[in-house]
């Protein structure tokens, strides 16, 4: 093989080696950017028509926040459908030492446990979990041991999905992740398009919801 041929061969080998290295995965992909497709700051006197559920007057606007207590899993659902690749931002605080902050995502907009259930400080502020279709299921992901809800603290949360993972952030501005749920069969399509606030017994306050479409690929 001539000099030119050898150089070309080695260049090709080097190129193929470089191509074989997978690009590093950004664990926080989607935490920034995207197209804003919905926003609600709850500045009116009553919930808008964008929200449904939460029967019996369990959910109301008080002082520019959505307040609930003893909802017993009668969730307040956002009626607008979400894209599969999405970031949902919201503020939340618990007015109880029991913590128990709860939201649901990729549900059907009607039923509790129709998607992923995210619970921070559940079961008397002892457990942090993301569950799939059953908050008591054996496949739920628990973690962040020792991280507990601080009564009265406003958490600027975000829930992000860009692939098969549901990622949950306590503080979206600092990129502070609480939990990640790896799902080999992600909940997508009809029946899994909605986000909702939820609660069992403690007084919770939600505010400043924003939904970002992170685009398809």
Report the 3 state secondary structure along 121-132: EHHHHCEEEEEE
Better-predicted residue by pLDDT, 145 or 217: 145
- Kindly report the number of other CB atoms within 10 A of residue 191's CB atom: 15
- Per-residue DSSP letter, 5: H
Q: Tell me the per-residue pLDDT of 76-106, one tens digit each, with 9 for 90 and over.
A: 999 999 999 999 999 999 999 999 999 999 9
Q: Tell me the per-residue pLDDT of 12-66, one tens digit each, with 9 for 90 and over.
A: 334 444 334 455 668 899 999 999 999 999 999 999 999 999 888 899 999 999 9
Separation in Å, CA 49 to CA 77, 79, 116: 11, 8, 24
The yes-or-no verdict on residue 128 having pLDDT over 50 is: yes
What are residue 157's DSSP bridge partners? 90
The CA distance from 135 to 116, in Å, is 8
pLDDT (0 to 100) of residue 23: 52
Q: Is 14 left (phi over 0), alpha (psi -120 to 50) or beta?
A: alpha
Separation in Å, CA 75 to CA 103, 109, 117, 187, 215: 8, 9, 11, 19, 27
pLDDT (0 to 100) of residue 54: 84
The CA distance from 183 to 141, in Å, is 10
Q: Tell me the per-residue pLDDT of 64-81, one tens digit each, with 9 for 90 and over.
A: 999 999 999 999 999 999
The yes-or-no verdict on residue 214 having pLDDT over 70 is: yes
Identify the CATH class of 36-213.
mainly beta
**Residue 30 burial (CB < 10 Å; 0-12/13-18/19+)?**
buried
Better-predicted residue by pLDDT, 135 or 5: 135
Half-sphere exposure of 195 (CA within 13 A, CB side): 22
> What average pLDDT does the structure give for the chain?
90
Contact 204, 88 (CB under 8 A): no
Model confidence band, residue 6 (pLDDT cutoffs 50, 70, 90): very low
Q: Please tell me the pTM assigned to this model.
A: 0.88
Average pLDDT over residues 170-194: 97
The CA distance from 110 to 50, in Å, is 14
pLDDT (0 to 100) of residue 17: 42
Model confidence band, residue 147 (pLDDT cutoffs 50, 70, 90): very high
The yes-or-no verdict on residue 198 having pLDDT over 70 is: yes
């Amino acid at each position: 093989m001539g000099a030119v041929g050898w150089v070309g061969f080695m260049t090709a080998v080097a190129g193929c080696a470089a191509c074989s290295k997978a690009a590093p995965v950004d664990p926080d992909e989607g935490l920034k950017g995207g197209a804003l497709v919905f926003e609600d700051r709850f500045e009116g006197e009553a919930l808008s028509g964008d929200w449904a559920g939460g029967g019996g007057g369990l959910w109301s606007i008080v002082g520019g926040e959505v307040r609930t207590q003893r909802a017993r899993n009668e969730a307040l659902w956002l009626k607008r459908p979400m894209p599969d690749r999405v970031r949902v931002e919201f503020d939340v605080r618990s007015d109880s030492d029991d913590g128990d902050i709860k939201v649901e995502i990729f549900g059907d907009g009607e039923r509790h446990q129709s998607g992923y259930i995210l619970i921070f400080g559940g079961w008397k502020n002892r457990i942090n979990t993301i569950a799939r279709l059953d908050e008591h299921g054996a496949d739920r992901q628990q973690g962040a041991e020792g991280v507990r809800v601080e009564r009265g603290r406003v958490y600027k949360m975000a829930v992000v999905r860009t692939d098969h993972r549901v990622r949950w952030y306590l503080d979206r501005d600092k990129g502070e992740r609480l939990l990640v749920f790896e799902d080999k069969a992600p909940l997508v399509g009809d029946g899994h398009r909605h986000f909702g606030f939820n609660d069992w017994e403690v007084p919770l306050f939600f505010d400043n919801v924003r939904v970002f479409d992170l685009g398809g690929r």
